[in-house]
Structure 1
Amino acid sequence: MHIPDGYLSPATCALTYAVAVPMWVIGLKKVRQVLDEKTLPTIASLTALSFIIMMFNIPIPGGTSGHAVGAALLALLFGPWVAFVSISMALLVQALLFGDGGITTFAANVLGMAAVGSFGAWWIYGLIRRWRFSPFVAGWASAVLSSLVIALLLGIQPLIAIDEAGRPLYFPFSLGPTLWALVGSHILFFGFVEGIFTQLGYRFLKKIDPELIEKEQAA
């Protein structure tokens, strides 16, 4: 689901950075309010785990790939801003060291996976938090919403950036096939992977550190 360099027009990249930069400023301030000797190890461990699971890209029909993210679990435990910053850091390391996602498209990947994935999961979980499988639903929705944003950013490129002959300059596929390939696969498969990961991780942490969950539920 990472967008490489050269897939988005310069105007699209500039717009995504214009949105992401203020969010990073706010997010870093929020993280400083949460970090202490108890929360830091858990946040760092979950961020590292998110980094690892995002490295396992599974090819899907349509010439793209997908993976779990881990944003939902972080959002449920520490809030969407902490999750946003944590996933942003994981995406940055992946882009710089492994070329998984581009530098020009880094902000686009952040908005899709870190921002929408975190805030979407947090909002949906807040609506159904009393339900036993609410972490699963939040994780599934997080993956689907992230794929929707990535698909929209890619799918609009043939509409906004073409040459004189009408050929796309950047991502070549239209919105319809892109939505089907990305969003469809996340609805049917990757969303369930994210949901199961979120549900199991949440229940595991509830067992080993119930105070962490109680603090989240009181927020």
Structure 2
Amino acid sequence: MHIPDNYLSPTTCAALVAAMAPVWTVSLKKVRVQIEAKKATVPLIGVGAAFAFLIMMFNVPVPGGTTAHAVGATLLAILLGPWAACLSISIALLLQAFVFGDGGILAYGANVFNMGFIMPFVGYSLFMLGKRFKHPKLGAFVGGYFGINFAALAAGVELGIQPLIAHTASGQPLYSPYPLSISVPAMLSAHMLVVGWIEAVVTVLVYQFVQKSAPDELYETPNEPSRVGRIWLPLLGVMAFLSPLGLLASGDAWGEWDTAGVVAQLKANHMHAAVPRGMAHGMDFHALLADYGLSGIPAPVGYVLSAATALILIGIIVKIVGARHAKVVS
């Protein structure tokens, strides 16, 4: 679901950054208030960012020979609140784009809009609906499933409208060449048939575990969490160690191919098999740890090192934000 650079027109990218700007602004204001009530919100946002980053490394095969992954945004909304979850996902996607080349720099706003805004807010709304009817576990399950599918639908629409809004005088697409009739079914089939169920199961299982073992860490509880490190750090460590399991699923996610992959897919769909001009001459950013690996290092080792690097960077960000907040408060 990570839209790469050059798949969306500059106008689309700018529009989605503009759409996210007020969401980020409100999120920061809401979270400041939340921190006053629960000081552990700051480290929990870091934990949420780390969890989302790591779970997105576990690719799974989906019909059609591509791959996809869970996100964890609904779960984070249940644990941290939707506004804090938005910030956690934003941090995870920022690191993925700039350090690991997963998701575009220009498409960052689009990716956050889908995974950091639509997904946690849709998922949390459905969770609260289930809770209102005395079925919070069912709400968590349904929220996890539909949250990621609404995000997938949004990504499919963003990709699918490109041939309509950005094309040459002769009608050839400049960016993503796949119409809505291809992009929307492709995105939804992967998530409705496979990934949505994984997201739903992970959401309800972790929610149930936290509810039983550390209910103070849930968003709506007034008490200050006391076991943030003891519960989450071992889990994150295990996820980082097991992250190479994501390499078992071969193939790229739908809509995340390089230019050669785009041509191959166009041929397979009996479409005009030429790289769109905007793709061919667009942004070419080389991330330091592109594809979660380093040259000359075995892929599994590179995956673990990338996971560890992400945890360290997120820890640094949390420390800086925590120190700045403490300074402002004092």
**Superposition TM-score tier, normalisation by shorter sequence:** over 0.9
Q: Structure 2: how far apart are the matches of 1:203 and 1:125?
A: 13
Q: Structure 2: how far apart are the matches of 1:148 and 1:8?
A: 15
For 2:220, the equivalent position in structure 1 comes to: 216
For 2:320, the equivalent position in structure 1 comes to: none
Letter of the aligned partner of 2:9 in structure 1? S
Q: Structure 1: how far apart are the matches of 2:158 and 2:10?
A: 12
1:176-213 deviation per Cα after TM superposition (whole angstroms, max 9, x unaligned): 11111111111111111111111111011112212334
Q: Which runs of 5+ in 1 are unaligned?
A: none
1:172 aligns with 2:174: no
Letter of the aligned partner of 1:185 in structure 2? A
Letter of the aligned partner of 1:84 in structure 2? C
Q: How does 1:6-85 map to 2 (within 5 A)?
A: 6-35=6-35, 36-58=38-60, 60-61=62-63, 65-85=67-87
Q: How does 1:147-166 map to 2 (within 5 A)?
A: 147-166=152-171
> Is contact 1:121-1:138 (8 Å) kept?
yes
1:186 aligns with 2:188: no
Q: Structure 1: how far apart are the matches of 2:66 and 2:21?
A: 27
> Is contact 2:62-2:194 (8 Å) kept?
no
For 1:86, the equivalent position in structure 2 comes to: 88
Letter of the aligned partner of 1:206 in structure 2? Q
How far does residue 83 in structure 1 lie from its aligned partner after superposition?
A: 0.7
**Residue among 144, 148, 151 paired with 1:146:** 151
Q: Structure 1: how far apart are the matches of 2:63 and 2:168?
A: 28
C-alpha RMSD of matched pairs (Å): 1.8
Letter of the aligned partner of 1:70 in structure 2? G
Q: Structure 1: how far apart are the matches of 2:211 and 2:44?
A: 13
Q: Structure 2: how far apart are the matches of 1:165 and 1:63?
A: 32
State percent identity of aligned pairs.
Answer: 45
Letter of the aligned partner of 2:49 in structure 1? T
Q: Structure 2: how far apart are the matches of 1:178 and 1:22?
A: 28
Q: Which 4+ stretches in 1 moved above 6 angstroms?
A: none
How far does residue 117 in structure 1 lie from its aligned partner after superposition?
A: 0.4
Q: TM-score, normalised by structure 2?
A: 0.62
For 1:206, the equivalent position in structure 2 comes to: 211
Letter of the aligned partner of 1:175 in structure 2? L
> Is contact 2:126-2:140 (8 Å) kept?
no
Letter of the aligned partner of 2:75 in structure 1? L
Which structure: larger Rg?
Answer: 2
How far does residue 60 in structure 1 lie from its aligned partner after superposition?
A: 3.9
How far does residue 217 in structure 1 lie from its aligned partner after superposition?
A: 6.5
